[in-house]
Structure 1
Amino acid sequence: MSRLILFNKPFGVLSQFTDAKSPTPRPTLSAFIDMPGVYPAGRLDRDSEGLLVLTDNGKLQARIADPKNKMSKTYLVQVEGAPTDKDLTPLRDGVTLKDGLTRPAKVRLIAPPDLWERDPPVRFRKSVPDAWLEITISEGRNRQVRRMTAHIGFPTLRLVRWRVGNWTLDGIGNGTWIES
């Protein structure tokens, strides 16, 4: 029977179990998950938070991580500025980034979600508004959501992956995991 772990990755944690490359050790999955034989199915940047799926099943890991399978991923994204629905249209159509045209995304403005406090907190500036978006994509290019929001003029301040396929963060506290 395959093992499947749903982990709520905190900000600043690497999506791997070791950090041999850095002269100063950075937090890794090993500080949170003590289960031999499971590996991340895909990655989540060090400065991103949220759902990371881990498994001991190589075929499942490939199916989740491989962009050709078009497994959807939903992100809650705090952006700098106050985009209108019209500003978001390019994301729904697909935008051309340095590595090519993105697939159309599902995007909507949302109320600020009830999330855990981030450590360190997102910088706050009284003179610059911010807004929250829910963005669903079906590919996983490097820093894709951040590059997409920057492309339309609204840089990402905070990025939380909430859903991968049918798995969500519902009921999983920051820095904790459950076996599914």
Structure 2
Amino acid sequence: MLIALNKPYGVLCQFTDADGRRTLADFIRQKDVYAAGRLDQDSEGLLLLTDDGRLAHQLTDPGHKQPKTYLVQVEGEIDKAALEALRRGVLLNDGPTLPTVAQAATEPDWLWPRDPPVRFRKSIPTSWLSISLREGRNRQVRRMTAAVGFPTLRLIRVQVGEHALDGLAPGESRQIR
């Protein structure tokens, strides 16, 4: 079984929390499924859940090279030099990243408002980009955009391998056949 969930902002990628924060249990009623990969509490978008350990491994193990694609809002107007640096790979404190597919994007018309909203500053513009990568280090996209001088304000995973968000609203899920 494979379930696609549009994980809302502020939700933990686990089913229980001793501190009473929102978890996957608030959205997924199916028993005995587990997240295939993770999204930070402050990230949104596609999260795949399965009851099949082998499938979870295929989806998450970097050796299987499943691309993960993110829509990223950054602080500042992204420039060609930063995009090229992201494409080549950047040096992080835990070593260099693999090359990525990175390109400027526009805010999509299907995008839902975030609750709470992203901070707004009149004097500092924001821009959007699309990043696809084949590794999955802790907070990697955020660290990469910061390393090239453009801190991430909003991060939405839109695709994992062949599985895409495809119109799921925040908190909605669907079973994938």
TM-score tier (shorter): over 0.9
Matched length: 175
- SS state of the match for residue 60, structure 1? helix
1:132 pairs with 2:148: no
User: How does the TM-score come out when normalised to structure 1?
Assistant: 0.95
CA distance in 2, matches of 1:57, 1:69: 16
Look up the equivalent residue of 2:158 and give its one-letter code. Answer: W
Aligned to 1:67: 62
Deviation digits for residues 132-156 of structure 1 (CA, Å, limit 9, x no counterpart): 0000000000000000000000000
Paired residues for 1:114-133 under 5 Å: 114=109, 115-133=111-129
Q: Give the superposed CA RMSD.
A: 0.7
1:97 deviates by 0.4
In 2, Cα distance between equivalents of 1:69 and 1:95: 22
Write the letter of the residue equivalent to 1:8. Answer: N
The range that moved more, 47-56 or 112-121, is 112-121
Equivalent residue runs for 1:1-180 within 5 Å: 3-20=1-18, 24-114=19-109, 115-180=111-176
C-alpha deviation, 1:86, in angstroms? 2.2
SS of 2:137's equivalent in the other structure is coil
**1:59 corresponds to which letter in structure 2?**
R
Q: TM-score, normalised by structure 2?
A: 0.97
- Structure 1 alignment gaps of length 5 or more: none
In the TM superposition, residue 121 of structure 1 has moved relative to its aligned partner by: 0.3
- For structure 2, the residue ranges without an aligned partner over 5 or more in a row are none
- Cα distance in 1, alignment partners of residues 123 and 149 from structure 2: 17
**Deviation >3 Å, runs of 4+:** none
Provide the identity percentage.
58
Deviation (angstroms), 1:169: 0.6
Partner SS state of residue 64, structure 1:
helix
| Structure 1 Cα separation of the partners of residues 21 and 164 of structure 2 | 26
Helix, strand or coil at the partner of 1:173: coil
Tell me how far apart the structure 1 counterparts of residues 64 and 96 of structure 2 sit (CA, whole Å): 17
